Structure 1
Amino acid sequence: MAPGIWTRHPRYVALVAVALLTTFYLLTPYSAGPYRLRKLYDSDLPSRVERSKNIYDKLLRNRQGLIKRFGPTPKSIDLFPPDVAPWPPYTVWDFFPAAFNCPHEVERLGALGDGGKWVCGLSRVAEKKDCVVYSFGINLESSFEAEILDNTDHCQIWGYDFSVKSFGPEIPRGRAHRTHFKAVGLAGSDKDGPNDDPKMFTLETLMKQNGHKHIDILKIDIEGWEFETLTTLLKPYISSGRPLPFGQLQLEIHIWNKSFADFLEWWEMLESAGLRPFWTEPNLVYQNYNKDKHTPDLAEYSFLNVKGNNVFINDPKFEGDIHHPHAPRED
């Protein structure tokens, strides 16, 4: 057999090997932590956030105008006007649109239909070493949590639900080590005595138990208890001026048996704490199976926290990182 080209020209082997290795090196992203996070630096981010704040301030003025038009006071407004003349053209949700623009990509994570949630800027935590996610209300459906695990390198998820014993089957076995589940509930006060069943804890207590000071993504679906729970959580932060301990909030609101005035007061408390809605959708699955109620009582909202220094509204800072556009210059 005649010698092949590789045998007759060994230098070709070396050249091809070098070319292949160079191509592989150029096409493979460098995985050092700070280097990969530098791509998060966005000099236009502060101005985008500020523009969104201005747009939302306009919405606040428009809301007051709508209240005067159909009220003229909050106490005289129905959540869902009755089907009688003059048929005012609104529902409660029209007073609270998701008018804040997320300054990053907006993505639905989890199942279509019930179970999925809208998230602002998941890319901002895709490689964050200390990414923390809390999820309250599992109900054996964990497609949202599973997709967070699939799309991030380090996010750890703490799940809580006293009605089930674990996350749902969607959690990949290979990523289950990044999940932590406890069969307790979220409430406005701790109820963990020997006769308390189910046991309930405040968010502050659970964060202390886990050694956390900040949560990147917080999901809450607790069947109407969100009003008491968030009121207790938010008021100390509002009175002290401290930013909330989470970056964004995915919340299902159950407006059962509320008055417009009560809901407005609660919603304005969320706004005072720095929460701005960037996405909303009605829960039409619930509506489909509760046609006798005739009113869309459930709505999904996603909020961004615009106070403080969370990664969704500010770029991360690295000590001595001269590549950051605002880092001190070297003399």
Structure 2
Amino acid sequence: MARWRLRTKAIFVYLGSLFLILAFLSVFTINGNLFSDPKTEINNRRKMLMQKVAVDRIDVNGLYVNGPFNKELPVIGAQFVGKYKEDVKNELDVSKYNKDGVWVIPPLSILPNISWSDLSTIYHGYLENVQIKCKNPERVGKITDGGWQICEDPQHKPSPGSLVYSFGINNDFSFDDAMAKKYKTQVHSFDPSIKLKDHDRSDLVKFHATGISDYTGVSDKGWNMATLTDIKRQLGHTKESLSVLKMDIEEWEWKVLPQLIKSNALHNIKQLLIEVHACEGCAIFRADRNNEASKERYIQGLQTYQHLYDLGFRLFWIHKNSACAYRSKFTDKEISACHEIHFVHVD
């Protein structure tokens, strides 16, 4: 009898220990702290958050991913619901820059005098509205992350043999390959951060282990970098226009865009596609990060968008990247710090 009791007690102790071990493992696995590769977790989260587009083919703007479409584009104005306590002393009335729910950029000279909270409202509100209607937008590449919209209206559609520059590949050539296949364009793909050397991927797609920057030289990571003007000169394209310039360069856009604008390197580009990252460091996802951009980044972003508008670029498609979603410290609403913005150039 005593032996039976000891066996029973041992069984209960064993089961109890097993339960505690399983509970411990489940907690740490859920939190992603055990046996998890951070890069894999990031990619899995991005894929998960992009499933809405893949399943119902609806962009987060509420528009069909594949054109053409005939319904009117929505006009969505972000409404500000409160002041952040640190900004009360800098309060200016910015309501006059919201016209019928559409935000326009205030004069650049007064941007430093606008509160951080109002700059956030204007920045995100500005990226809620297209500025020109593309009647024939077409998704090129993946339906999910990695694909981009191309405007196929006759005056903007890429023509066979025209040039496409695609900066930022990250081993995903789906957009580049699709551009070459669909439009017979000459595609030049650029990325110094992946382990590939210069090579011809196909008859129409050529890869270059070079990155776009605001300077020409070698970066502190040992990457070959160059300005757009120097890249075109190196490839013998100085006098040629680009039907599409795509940049997904993980916050380098804030160095590159001012240089492109200042050097007038954008004058012969028909479509400009950029992923912009408002928050510093949000190119690398971290669940514990607050992605609210700094006041200085909001000012730089609005200045850049105004300069692009003055150069004749008009937004025809905007996609919010859900992988950069966060809760605003000013409105307590969920918004995104990353946008894939698509422009066409108008004369």
Q: TM-score, normalised by structure 2?
A: 0.56
1:161 lines up with 2:191 in the alignment: yes
Q: Structure 1 residues 243, 206: closer, same or farther in 2, change over 3 A?
A: closer
Q: Structure 1 residues 122, 183: closer, same or farther in 2, change over 3 A?
A: farther
- What is the aligned counterpart of 2:148 among 102, 106, 117? 117
2:207 corresponds to: 181
1:232 lines up with 2:259 in the alignment: yes
**Correspondence list, 1:141-220, <5 A:** 141-152=172-183, 154-166=184-196, 176-192=202-218, 197-212=222-237, 213-220=240-247
1:247 corresponds to: 270
Per-residue deviation at 1:103? 4.4
Q: Structure 1 residues 121, 74: closer, same or farther in 2, change over 3 A?
A: farther
Per-residue deviation at 1:74? 6.0
* 2: CA distance, partners of 1:267 / 1:249: 12
Per-residue deviation at 1:205? 0.7
1:274 corresponds to: 312
Q: Structure 1 residues 253, 109: closer, same or farther in 2, change over 3 A?
A: same
* 2: CA distance, partners of 1:285 / 1:264: 22
**Correspondence list, 1:31-50, <5 A:** none
- What is the aligned counterpart of 2:341 among 301, 308, 328? 301
Q: Deviations over 1:64-116 (max 9, x none)?
A: 67969xx99862142786xxxxxxxx573212334223444101111122101
Q: Structure 1 residues 295, 80: closer, same or farther in 2, change over 3 A?
A: farther
* 2: CA distance, partners of 1:122 / 1:156: 20
Per-residue deviation at 1:266? 1.8
Q: Which runs of 5+ in 2 are unaligned?
A: 1-72, 74-95, 281-293, 327-333
Provide the aligned length of Structure 1 versus Structure 2: 223
Q: Deviations over 1:239-287 (max 9, x none)?
A: xxx9612110111000114423332112111111211110001101343
Per-residue deviation at 1:219? 0.5
Q: Structure 1 residues 142, 122: closer, same or farther in 2, change over 3 A?
A: farther
1:223 lines up with 2:250 in the alignment: yes
* 1: CA distance, partners of 2:104 / 2:305: 17
- Report the AA paired with residue 147 of structure 2: G
The DSSP-based 3-state class of the residue aligned with 1:246 is coil
* 1: CA distance, partners of 2:124 / 2:132: 18
1:92 corresponds to: 123
C-alpha contact 1:250 1:303 (8 A) present in aligned 2: yes
* 2: CA distance, partners of 1:300 / 1:244: 21
Q: TM-score, normalised by structure 1?
A: 0.58
1:76 lines up with 2:115 in the alignment: yes
Q: Structure 1 residues 201, 130: closer, same or farther in 2, change over 3 A?
A: same
- Report the AA paired with residue 280 of structure 1: I
* 2: CA distance, partners of 1:187 / 1:200: 6
- What is the aligned counterpart of 1:265 among 303, 314, 318? 303
The DSSP-based 3-state class of the residue aligned with 1:78 is helix
Q: Which runs of 5+ in 1 are unaligned?
A: 1-51, 53-58, 82-89, 168-172, 289-293, 308-331
Per-residue deviation at 1:199? 1.3
* 2: CA distance, partners of 1:119 / 1:108: 6
- Report the AA paired with residue 117 of structure 2: D
Per-residue deviation at 1:155? 0.7
C-alpha contact 2:156 2:270 (8 A) present in aligned 1: no
* 1: CA distance, partners of 2:335 / 2:124: 11
Percent of residue pairs identical: 25
C-alpha contact 2:314 2:346 (8 A) present in aligned 1: yes
- Report the AA paired with residue 341 of structure 2: Y
Q: Structure 1 residues 127, 296: closer, same or farther in 2, change over 3 A?
A: closer
* 2: CA distance, partners of 1:76 / 1:274: 28
Higher helix proportion: 1
